[in-house]
């Protein structure tokens, strides 16, 4: 049996791991300000909206490799140590990105950003689960996503205002400031290891690491139907976040709206998540995760079909409301995954499960660029609706006991 690499103790610790929800709030505030302006910056550097999707697809390959490799990395290094290195690095990376003079320099620096962010969100998700008692998983996940989404309201509004006032890339400086605050908060927690068994093992008792173990973990993951379903459900959610983060921004700028309006629309689109997600986790406990996932994907597909028929003013309203569907999916996809694995298997399987994130961020922008070049912006909305109809059927295939 593999023990978790560490259990953390802080003077703020309790079962729900509330400190990690606060970390999610600060992180999402900074990262959302960056991500809201990133497609606009890339469009300027690349000279075309079409190439933006290709950029996101290529850079997401790095995230895929890091996500898959995390199953090995998390056994070799402490999650606490990795988090300290990541947060310190991100403070510098966001600032350095503002000095990139061309797309090649920008991409080289951005690879380090993707590496750090991918690892950070994997580690943070495991921290949340480690601190949650079995009966409190829904509460912990609900709080985590609530705080994350509050950050996604603050970040785009702040980033949009700063970008309009001081220039688009100034939002990157704001992101750097947020991660500086986050690093100070994390270092202040005085985190320490509490699993002495890790340091008492002999060489023979140490878990194997390397490529052989990765393939074993991957085969064990694929053999389980509900883990495959969890992967696909997560893929669908990230497919939507990829489409929305890139093409909603580009669609609005194409219609002539300013960075501030783009930021405001992104912020308001998170309101349904804040209002619904926390209750969605409670509802899923009573009525089943499966039912909420089905409803969520059905709603997403309907909203995207409505996007294709809407005038600009109506489109903005739909973009604000579309995440009603996402609110049924986002916290429950994580709960569904953790229902399938024991705590000792989390680090074995979470990196593989989390690979749904970079795979979605590879396929969605690439498909989006092809659809945009061939059919215009409506081609992207039709394509997304088709994917979410497929995800609805995946959710329906989940065992009814869930």
Is residue 326 within 8 A of residue 296, CB to CB? The reply is yes
Cα 263 from Cα 319, distance rounded (Å): 12
Question: 187-239, pLDDT tens digit by residue?
Answer: 876 554 343 333 333 333 344 556 777 788 888 888 888 888 899 999 999 99
The percentage of residues in the chain with a pLDDT greater than 70, rounded to a whole number, is: 85
Burial of 287 (0-12, 13-18, 19+ CB in 10 A): exposed
Reading phi first (left if > 0) and then psi (alpha if -120 to 50, else beta), residue 201 is in: beta
CA angle (354 as vertex; 351, 356 as ends), nearest 5? 135
Cβ pair 254, 312 in contact under 8 A:
no
Counting as low any pLDDT under 50, the low residues of the chain are: 1-16, 192-207
| Contact (Cβ atoms closer than 8 angstroms) between residue 148 and residue 25 | yes
- Name residue, tokens 């079909």: 305
Nearest to 237 by CA among 127, 354, 120: 354
- The pTM score is 0.73
Query: What pLDDT sits at residue 210?
Result: 63
Three-class SS state of 192: coil
Task: Tell me the CB-side half-sphere exposure of residue 193, using CA atoms within 13 A.
Answer: 13
Domains and CATH numbers, the chain: 18-193+214-396 (1.20.1250.20)
Helices (runs of H) and strands (runs of E) counted in the chain:
17, 0
Give the C-alpha distances (Å, rounded to integers) separating 280 from 102, 129, 141, 290: 44, 18, 11, 12
The pair of three-digit structure tokens given for residue 73, joined into one six-digit string: 């990395």
Give the model's pLDDT for residue 343: 67
The alpha-carbon radius of gyration of the chain (Å, integer) is 20
Per-residue pLDDT at 13: 40
Task: Tell me how far the alpha carbon of residue 288 is from its chain's centroid.
Answer: 23
Whether 98 contacts 169, CB under 8 Å: yes
Token code pair at residue 21: 């929800």
Dihedral angle over CA of 29, 126, 222, 205, nearest 10: 150
Segments of 41-80 assigned E as strands? none
Q: Indicate the length of the chain as a whole number.
A: 402
CA 250 to chain centre: 20
Tens digit of each residue's pLDDT (9 = 90 or more) over 314-326: 999 999 999 999 9
Query: Which residue in the block uniquely carries the two structure tokens 């980033």?
Result: 159
Q: From CA 34, how far away is CA 45, in angstroms rounded?
A: 16
How far apart, in whole angstroms, are the C-alpha atoms of residue 122 and residue 58? Answer: 20
- The DSSP symbol for 202 reads -
State the number of CA atoms in the 13 A half-sphere of 289 facing the CB.
25
pLDDT of residue 240: 94
Mean confidence (pLDDT) of the chain: 81
- Convert 101-137 to b/e letters by CB count within 10 Å (16 or more is b): eebeebbebbbbbbbbbbbbbbbbbbbbbbbbeeebb
> 194: burial class by Cβ within 10 Å (0-12, 13-18, 19+)?
exposed
């Amino acid at each position: 049996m593999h023990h978790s690499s560490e259990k953390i103790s802080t003077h703020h610790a309790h079962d729900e791991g509330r400190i990690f929800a606060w970390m999610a709030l600060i992180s999402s505030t900074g990262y959302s300000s960056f991500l809201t302006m990133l497609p606009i910056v890339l469009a300027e550097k690349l000279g075309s909206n079409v190439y933006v999707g290709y950029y996101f697809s290529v850079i997401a390959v790095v995230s895929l490799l890091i996500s898959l490799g995390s199953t090995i990395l998390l056994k070799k290094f402490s999650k606490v140590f990795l988090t300290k290195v990541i947060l310190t690095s991100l403070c510098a990376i966001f600032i350095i990105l503002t000095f990139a003079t061309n797309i090649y320099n920008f991409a080289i620096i951005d690879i380090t950003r993707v590496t750090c962010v991918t690892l950070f969100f994997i580690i943070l998700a495991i921290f949340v689960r480690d601190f949650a008692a079995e009966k409190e998983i829904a509460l912990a996940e609900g709080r985590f996503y609530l705080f994350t989404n509050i950050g996604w309201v603050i970040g785009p509004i702040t980033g949009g205002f700063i970008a309009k006032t001081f220039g688009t890339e100034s939002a990157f400086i704001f992101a750097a400031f947020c991660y500086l605050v986050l690093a100070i908060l994390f270092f202040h927690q005085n985190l320490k290891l509490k699993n002495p068994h890790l340091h008492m093992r002999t060489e023979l008792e140490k878990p194997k690491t390397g490529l052989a173990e990765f393939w074993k973990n991957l085969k064990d993951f694929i053999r389980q139907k509900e883990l495959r379903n969890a992967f696909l459900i997560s893929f669908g959610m990230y497919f939507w976040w990829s489409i929305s983060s890139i093409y909603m921004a580009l669609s609005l700028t194409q219609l002539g709206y300013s960075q501030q309006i783009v930021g405001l629309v992104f912020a308001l689109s998170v309101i349904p998540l804040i209002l619904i997600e926390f209750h969605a986790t409670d509802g899923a406990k009573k009525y089943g995760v499966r039912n909420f996932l089905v409803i969520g994907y059905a709603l997403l597909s309907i909203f995207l079909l409505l996007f294709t028929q809407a005038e600009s003013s109506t489109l903005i309203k739909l973009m604000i409301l579309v995440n009603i569907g996402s609110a049924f999916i986002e916290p429950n996809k994580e709960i569904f995954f953790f229902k399938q694995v024991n705590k000792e298997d989390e680090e074995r399987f979470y990196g593989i499960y989390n690979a749904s994130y970079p795979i979605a961020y590879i396929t969605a922008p690439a498909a989006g660029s092809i659809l945009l070049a061939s059919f215009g912006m409506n081609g992207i909305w039709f394509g997304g609706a088709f994917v979410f109809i497929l995800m609805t059927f995946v959710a329906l295939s989940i065992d009814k006991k869930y």
